Structure 1
Amino acid sequence: MKISVWGGTGYSGGHVARVAAERGHEVTAFARTAPSDAPSDAPAHATGGVAYEVGTVLDAADRARSLDGADAVVVALSPRGDMADRMREAVTALAEDARRVGVRFGIVGGAGSLLVAEDGPRFVDTEAFAPEEAKPEALTVGAVLDDLRATPDDLDWFMVSPSPVYGAWAPGEATGSYRLGGDVLLPGTDGGPAALSGADLGAVVVDELERPAHRRARFTAAS
């Protein structure tokens, strides 16, 4: 497949790009900075087999470039900085662009919008959600999910929400296996919150691209 990854020099996007390239897919990573300028902990830093393009999802021409000839586009961006108030509209625009040209649309979400039980509430709306300063990001991602669920049926989309213990602050190790769930948080195997490594998140996303099992759906993953 030809796969475009927005945020491909970041933590989540870098792992997605690396796994996809290792499996022989044609991968292009889009980001605002070249890989040499990416954070030192970004796994896409000089990843072999990945082509890098500088661009922003806020720009219509850059969005079009990422979709040109692609089979799938994956968004791994965070609503931070100047993207805090613009990510929702930009992702909505990219999703609509993908729908028009028939490109599968995937996005890496967060644990905040997951439910703590079948009848709710969302994790972000509970006292257990932390840190408090991350709440605006979680609410934005939840809004993006609502937007995707309201799109026309001919948009083939999916969202992966990793478990609460996930990110560069808790990188973990590749396990080669993972558990999948739906909209409800998965329990941890040790009684605490569930975790997922960046490497395993990359495998979750690429597995879904290779063997689609979640059409127009959000799902979660944990080790």
Structure 2
Amino acid sequence: MSTIVIFGGTGYAGGNIAREAVKRGHTVVSYSRHAPSSPDEGVDYRIGSLTDEATVKAALEGADELVIAVRGSDVDGQQLGDLVPALVAAAVAADVRLSFVGGAGSSLVSPDGPRLLDTPDFHEEWKPEATAHARVLDALRESPEELRWFYVSPAALFGSFAPGETLGTYRTNGDVLVTKEDGSSEISGTDFALAYVDEIEQSNHRRQRFTTGH
């Protein structure tokens, strides 16, 4: 079993990942700015910011996996992409695999593109967050070969506002957005976590992004 450190472990995606990992017998440590109002049994909750290098370094002691499940456009006043170089250096030094809960916006709508965020119907107010997460993916692809990483983009409809149905299954599609026959794209938090923890355990996408959906 692995020791999994999650920054953002009290949020929607991070919380689902934490619960799924605990259920499978992994050791889970969650870092967030505030203690959860309803803590989950088996998760070790700690207070700390991803922007603090000393906190990150201490969190990685004895860890196997570092999961980043925070907003892309605002991490205590900074963009997540600006924190990637320090996270990469810390993960390489500690020999920890680094992974990110990404956004759907950077997913391609077809094998030849464009990205979802570059399509005409993508809402303008969503673009800052989507662009911030896309920067993270670009930085990972340019990272040194010794960094072990993966990045998971959910379906277009994903979040606490649309928790969806737990099916116990999911599909993946490389860089292309996962859609249904009717063109819709969605996944529940529980099944997204299923895909994420499966990747932690199986390492099917080494130094790659993959998309997932129902």
Deviating runs (4+, > 4 A) in structure 1?
Answer: 80-84
Structure 2 CA distance for partners of 1:121 and 1:203, relative to 1, 3 Å: same
In the alignment, does 2:140 pair up with 1:148? yes
In the alignment, does 2:155 pair up with 1:163? yes
Match of 1:192 in 2: 183
Match of 1:109 in 2: 102
Match of 2:30 in 1: 29
Query: Following the alignment from structure 2 to structure 1, what is the Cα–Cα distance between the partners of residues 49 and 17?
Result: 18
Match of 2:207 in 1: 216
Contact 1:92 1:148 in 2 (8 A): no
| Structure-to-structure mapping, 1:41-190, within 5 angstroms | 45-81=38-74, 83=76, 85-130=78-123, 132-189=124-181
Deviation at 1:128, TM superposition (A): 2.3
SS of equivalent residue, structure 1 residue 163? coil
Query: Following the alignment from structure 2 to structure 1, what is the Cα–Cα distance between the partners of residues 134 and 174?
Result: 15
Q: Residue 212 of structure 1 aligns to which amino acid in structure 2?
A: S
Normalising by structure 1, we get a TM-score of 0.92
Query: Following the alignment from structure 2 to structure 1, what is the Cα–Cα distance between the partners of residues 93 and 149?
Result: 13
Q: Residue 125 of structure 1 aligns to which amino acid in structure 2?
A: D
| Structure 1 spans left out of the alignment, 5+ residues | 37-44
Query: Following the alignment from structure 2 to structure 1, what is the Cα–Cα distance between the partners of residues 84 and 159?
Result: 21
Match of 1:39 in 2: none
Deviation at 1:66, TM superposition (A): 1.8
Query: Following the alignment from structure 1 to structure 2, what is the Cα–Cα distance between the partners of residues 178 and 215?
Result: 19
Contact 1:57 1:91 in 2 (8 A): no
Give deviations 1:79-119, integer Å, cap 9, x for gaps: 34454643212233112210121101110101100111112
Normalising by structure 2, we get a TM-score of 0.95
Contact 2:50 2:75 in 1 (8 A): no
Give deviations 1:122-163, integer Å, cap 9, x for gaps: 110111223x21101111111111100001111010000001
Query: Following the alignment from structure 2 to structure 1, what is the Cα–Cα distance between the partners of residues 98 and 74?
Result: 24
How many positions carry a matched residue from both structures?
Answer: 213
Contact 1:84 1:137 in 2 (8 A): no
How well do the aligned residues superpose, as a CA RMSD in angstroms? 1.3
